């Protein structure tokens, strides 16, 4: 017996050495002999991927480690065979087209259709003394067919570690984040395999529950048939507190919680104790409304709830008023920046205090609070829509000029909040305090201590402010009136409100503007035309007067 084992071991070592020499020679020949084709899987796949066959070999990475309990061995799989302590170089062994694996000194094994685990156990059991190592080195490639509602139906080279969804990608049926753009079914795909009943592939359920039977690995000769998406015939809608609300394909056997998982699960605000199913009859009338607490189902202590075609699901959400409510403080405060606020209870004076108060350069008369323009419901205002509504409303704007001016004001209006920083912060008048809202911007400008003079003056520009000085002082500092100035129409434009005022109606403040218009001189013909029009009008009036007198006298 001992001599027999020694002979067996010697024979195994000899075969290993011969095999190593044979493989080395084959590789050397392939590198040095021009035009020589290796009889291997690689050369066969190169032929398949040639331009004449119009087939490409996908380079798709593995989803994970190959599971020996699930991987099905077939023709073309390449294995690495090694007997520790006996084999010098691992042998590369390929499963034959007949589905057999030939192992030196051990024999032929029928491996087609068996799991990788079963093949390994069969090989190991054939060696009584040694413990050989059989490792899957290269998963096989083969042809599959993809038909139906795909962009490029036809045959494709697939791999034994590819699932059905990868074959769809090869055929141009890639999934989309926008479900409304998906034109093919993702839940009713048919996998037709030789010698087996048709199977239904459900990609939505696979990605939700990760069940292999919903998206199986491909095998040689598989035919994948993709029907078009038909939500009008088979669908379930789910809305409210789920991550991906919308309309989904329905399959008999669908349940409430599984559909929620297909919709990517509950949101943080979802209320699992208040899930509603609305069911309709075929005539469109309501046939049932059911309210469920799915907490026990999620905990695994209760059975799931069966759905029916065309059911509509609403997952209610808790109302949570907490939000990132904030205002921005800009300009002359000690600590400008963004400040969180509490809705309906944060005031302007409080936020200015939190910002450290005003700097010495702050100019309060020009300070303001700007607010986002919203509707009464707090929705951002659509000014173009509001303009259309205003066009149909108005019997007050009686002239085209008035309407044009109103439209201009509505377009250019700023969402400022009426307040008086001087009255609030210097005189302590709390009636000018402002209850702040999310998104408000508080701006406190710097005191430039200047007045801007422009128009028909000698040197337009900024003039240093002088308390109590009237407009003539600033016009003089700006070079005086120009030759074409219309001094009588000089106007003061208030810096904050942009209100145009006569100089006698206001005191000039820092930041104000002084506008000196041009005295427009019309040509003589212009005045002659006015005189002619006036004369014509007087002539008509006199003629009408004479006629009226004549008619009155004749009576």
* pTM, rounded to two decimals: 0.61
Distance, first Cα to last Cα, the chain: 161
pLDDT at 332: 95
CA separation for the pair 222, 49 (Å, rounded): 19
Which ranges in the chain are annotated with CATH 3.10.560.10?
142-226, 235-317, 326-444, 450-516
H or E segment and range at residue 417: strand 416-417
CA separation for the pair 438, 443 (Å, rounded): 15
* Cα–Cα nearest to 77, from 18, 119, 123: 119
CA separation for the pair 392, 411 (Å, rounded): 17
Residue 180, CA atoms < 13 Å, CB-side half-sphere: 2
Q: Using an 8 Å Cβ cutoff, are 67 and 136 in contact?
A: no
CA separation for the pair 545, 533 (Å, rounded): 18
Q: Could you identify the residue written with the tokens 């104000």? A: 512
Taking residue 183's Cβ as centre, other Cβ atoms within 10 Å add up to 13
Q: Name the CATH superfamily, with its identifier, for domain 235-317.
A: Outer membrane lipoprotein wza domain like (3.10.560.10)
pLDDT at 44: 38
* Cα–Cα nearest to 63, from 156, 142, 165, 135: 165
- Class at the top of the CATH hierarchy for domain 450-516: alpha beta
> What does residue 399 show for φ and ψ, rounded to 5 degrees?
-120, 155
* Cα–Cα nearest to 251, from 189, 197, 302, 166: 189
Q: Which residues contact 16 (CB under 8 A, 6 or more apart)?
A: 83, 86, 87, 88, 89, 91, 104
pLDDT at 554: 59
pLDDT at 499: 86
What average pLDDT values come out for the chain (555 residues) when binned by 10 residues? Answer: 46 46 46 40 40 46 86 95 82 94 88 95 85 91 95 94 93 79 93 94 94 94 95 95 95 95 94 95 90 94 95 94 92 96 93 96 91 63 55 57 60 74 94 94 89 92 91 93 90 85 90 88 71 77 77 65
* CATH architecture for residues 2-36+67-138: 2-Layer Sandwich (3.30)
pLDDT at 390: 58
H or E segment and range at residue 450: strand 450-455
CA separation for the pair 187, 184 (Å, rounded): 9
CA separation for the pair 413, 371 (Å, rounded): 11
pLDDT at 88: 75
CA separation for the pair 225, 161 (Å, rounded): 20
* CATH architecture for residues 142-226: Roll (3.10)
Query: Strand 141-148 to strand 154-159: parallel, antiparallel, or no bridges (unpaired)?
Result: antiparallel
pLDDT at 555: 56
Three-class DSSP labels, 353-372: HHCCCECCCECHHHCEEECC
Q: Could you identify the residue written with the tokens 């208040």? A: 274
- Class at the top of the CATH hierarchy for domain 326-444: alpha beta
Structure tokens at 520: 């427009």
pLDDT at 331: 94
Sign of CA dihedral 34, 37, 41, 44: positive
Q: Helices 383-393 & 400-412, crossing angle to 10 degrees?
A: 160
């Amino acid at each position: 017996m001992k001599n027999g084992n020694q002979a067996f071991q010697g024979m195994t070592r000899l075969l290993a050495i011969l095999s190593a020499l044979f493989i080395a020679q084959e590789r050397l020949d392939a590198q040095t002999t021009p035009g020589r084709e290796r009889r291997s899987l690689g050369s066969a796949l190169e032929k398949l991927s040639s331009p004449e066959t119009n087939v490409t070999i996908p380079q798709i990475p593995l989803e994970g480690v190959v599971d020996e309990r699930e991987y099905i061995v077939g023709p073309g799989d390449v294995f690495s065979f090694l007997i520790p302590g006996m084999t010098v170089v691992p042998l590369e062994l390929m499963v034959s087209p007949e589905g057999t694996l030939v192992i030196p000194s051990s024999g032929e094994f029928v491996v087609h259709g068996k799991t990788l685990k079963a093949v390994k156990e069969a090989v190991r059991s054939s060696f009584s003394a040694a413990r050989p190592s059989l490792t899957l080195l290269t998963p096989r490639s083969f042809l599959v067919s993809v038909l139906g509602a795909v962009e490029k139906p036809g045959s494709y080279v697939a791999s034994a570690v590819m699932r059905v969804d990868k074959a769809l990608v090869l055929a141009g049926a890639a999934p989309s984040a926008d479900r409304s753009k998906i034109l093919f079914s993702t839940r009713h795909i048919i996998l037709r395999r030789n010698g087996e009943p048709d199977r239904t592939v459900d990609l939505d359920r696979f990605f939700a529950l990760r069940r292999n039977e919903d998206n199986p690995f491909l095998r040689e000769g598989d035919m994948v048939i993709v029907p078009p998406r038909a939500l009008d015939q088979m669908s379930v809608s789910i809305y409210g507190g789920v991550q991906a609300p919308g309309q989904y394909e329905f399959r008999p056997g669908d349940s409430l919680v599984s559909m929620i998982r297909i919709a990517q699960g509950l949101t943080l605000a979802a209320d699992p104790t208040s899930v509603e199913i609305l069911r309709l009859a075929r005539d469109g009338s309501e046939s049932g409304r059911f309210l469920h607490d799915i907490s026990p189902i999620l905990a695994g202590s209760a059975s799931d709830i069966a759905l029916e075609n065309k059911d509509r699901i609403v997952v209610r959400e808790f109302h949570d008023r907490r939000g990132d409510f904030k205002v921005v403080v800009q300009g002359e405060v000690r600590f400008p920046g963004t400040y969180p606020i509490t809705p309906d209870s944060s005031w302007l004076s409080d936020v200015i205090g939190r910002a450290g108060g005003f700097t010495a350069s702050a100019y309060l008369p020009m300070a303001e609070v700007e607010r986002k323009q919203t509707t009464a419901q707090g929705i951002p205002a659509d000014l173009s829509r509001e303009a259309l509504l205003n066009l149909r409303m108005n019997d007050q704007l009686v002239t085209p000029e008035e309407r044009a001016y109103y439209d201009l004001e509505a377009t250019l209006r700023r969402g400022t909040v009426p307040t008086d920083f001087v009255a609030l912060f210097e005189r302590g008048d709390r009636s000018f305090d402002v209850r702040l809202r999310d998104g408000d911007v508080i701006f406190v400008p710097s005191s430039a201590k200047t007045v801007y003079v422009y128009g028909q003056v000698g040197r337009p520009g900024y003039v240093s402010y002088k308390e109590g000085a009237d407009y003539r002082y600033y016009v003089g500092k700006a070079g005086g009136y120009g030759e074409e100035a219309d001094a009588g129409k000089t106007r003061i434009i208030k810096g904050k409100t942009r209100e145009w005022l006569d100089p006698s109606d206001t005191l000039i403040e820092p930041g104000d503007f002084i506008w000196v218009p041009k005295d427009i001189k019309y040509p003589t013909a212009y005045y002659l035309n006015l005189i002619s029009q006036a004369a014509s009008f007087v002539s008509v009036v006199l003629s009408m007067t004479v006629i009226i007198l004549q008619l009155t006298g004749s009576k």
